Amino acid sequence: MAFALVTGAAKGIGKALAAGLAARNYDLLLVDIDKPQLRATAAELAAQYRVIAFTLHLDLSEPDAIERLQEWTAEFHDQLSVVVSNAGYGLNGAFETLTLEEQLNIIDVNIRAQVSISHKYIPVLRAHRKAYLLNLGSTTAYQSVPYLNIYAASKAFAVSFTRGLRYELRNSSVSVSCLSPGSTDTDFVNRARMGASIRKTAERFNMTPEKVAAIALKGLFAGKAEILPGWHNKLNAFLPKFFPKRLVEKIAGGIYQPAAHTAITEVPLATIPKATANLPA
């Protein structure tokens, strides 16, 4: 019996990754902030794949979250050979109009939790003859993205951190990979409070979570360093290297600029509503 731990597992890419692992006969340790959806997902996957699926309702931005997570998984460490650090989110808006608390919370979930999970679970994974750690990046990691600034920067951290960690563990039993999806048909756009125009742009290139997860797990078990699902996401990641950064930033800023931002010099910042749109991780 082997277990896989997946954070952000209630829906979207996390749920699809959990399903893909269940299809490979992994029992599941599923974590998410959305308790009702998490329980529904666990019940669905357990019934569909005839696996065990345990759940933990947890907000990874809380200071004691990782300690609580490790306490919960402790009894499964002898069987835990896959860890997927999938939880993450972003908010669309100008840096100065989003609250500091909102932006630090993104850093807590996207960076602090990912680093903490890696640090706490690498010793657990090392104890196995073969084990896997998958961290979530994004195609936004490969360029600056105005109005999605903290999210993109956090994903750039994820890619760099994961590659460095992979090298450090190159002679161990732990294979470390980073999944960098682009626009995906998930709830990311809604949670990021993106507007309708951004949503339309995203929908033209959306991949399904199931397709992303299938490519991700194939790459993970093949030992790939970076996994970029879909040819258009590969282009999005690597084309910016061949153009001036100012041009790339102008294009990205044009895509993600909230409509309300046009009023920023005419009214007090406090009165400007935040954008209401979301893109897939």
- C-alpha dist (Å) from residue 74 to 2, 48, 66, 275: 14, 26, 12, 41
Domain membership of residue 204 as a residue range: 3-271
Total structural domains in the chain? 1
Give the number of other CB atoms < 10 A from CB of residue 123: 10
pTM, to two decimals: 0.84
What is residue 11's three-state secondary structure? coil
Q: Which stretches within 108-175 are classed as H helix?
A: 113-126, 149-168
Per-block mean pLDDT, blocks of 10 residues, the chain (281 long): 96 98 99 98 98 98 97 98 97 94 97 98 98 97 91 97 98 98 64 51 73 98 95 75 75 75 33 33 40
Whether 228 is in a domain gets the answer yes
Q: Quote the CA–CA distance of 164 and 159 in Å, as a whole number.
A: 9
151 is catalytic: yes
- Which CATH number fits the domain that encloses residue 99? 3.40.50.720
Catalytic member of 147, 151, 167, 256: 151
Residue 184 lies in a domain: yes
81 in a structural domain: yes
276 inside domain: no
pLDDT digits (tens, 9 = 90+) for 28-74: 999 999 999 999 999 999 999 999 999 999 999 999 999 999 999 99
**Residue 73: inside a domain, yes or no?**
yes
Residue 264: inside a domain? yes
- Residue 277 is assigned to a structural domain of this protein: no
What's the distance, CA 30 to chain centroid? 15
